[in-house]
């Protein structure tokens, strides 16, 4: 499994709208990607700082979501709300234990 982590900060007055866009547009677009395995969102509504982790079946699937412009198209949806450019990292998932 592979993970893409995107850290960003949105303007405080745009946190709720950003969450709505993520839930109604970005999450469904992620689910439509081949190899998609999960989506986690962490948000501090007092600072506007947030982290999105998307999980992918393989590095190939994670990279393919760049090649087909999925990732860039999702960033554009929030571009006017960011206070600074988002920071992106990718990792191989060595271990996970989720119990929801």
Asked if 38 contacts 54 with a C-beta cutoff of 8 angstroms, the reply is yes
Mind listing the pLDDT tens digit of every residue in the chain (100 residues)?
A: 999 999 999 999 999 999 999 999 999 999 999 999 999 999 998 999 999 999 999 999 999 988 889 999 999 999 999 999 999 999 999 998 888 8
CATH class of 2-92: alpha beta
Asked if 73 contacts 1 with a C-beta cutoff of 8 angstroms, the reply is no
Pick from 94, 89, 73, 82: nearest CA to 25: 73
Task: Provide the whole-model pTM.
Answer: 0.91
Domain ranges within the chain, ordered by starting residue:
2-92
């Amino acid at each position: 499994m592979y993970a893409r982590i995107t850290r960003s900060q949105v303007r405080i007055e745009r946190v709720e709208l950003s969450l709505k866009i993520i839930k109604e547009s970005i999450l469904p677009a992620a689910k439509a990607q081949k190899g998609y395995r999960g989506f986690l969102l962490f948000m501090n509504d007092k600072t506007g700082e947030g982290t999105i982790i998307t999980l992918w079946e393989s590095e190939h699937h994670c990279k393919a979501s760049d090649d087909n412009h999925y990732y860039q198209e999702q960033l554009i949806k929030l571009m006017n709300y960011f206070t600074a450019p988002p920071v992106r990292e990718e990792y191989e998932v060595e271990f996970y234990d989720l119990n929801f």
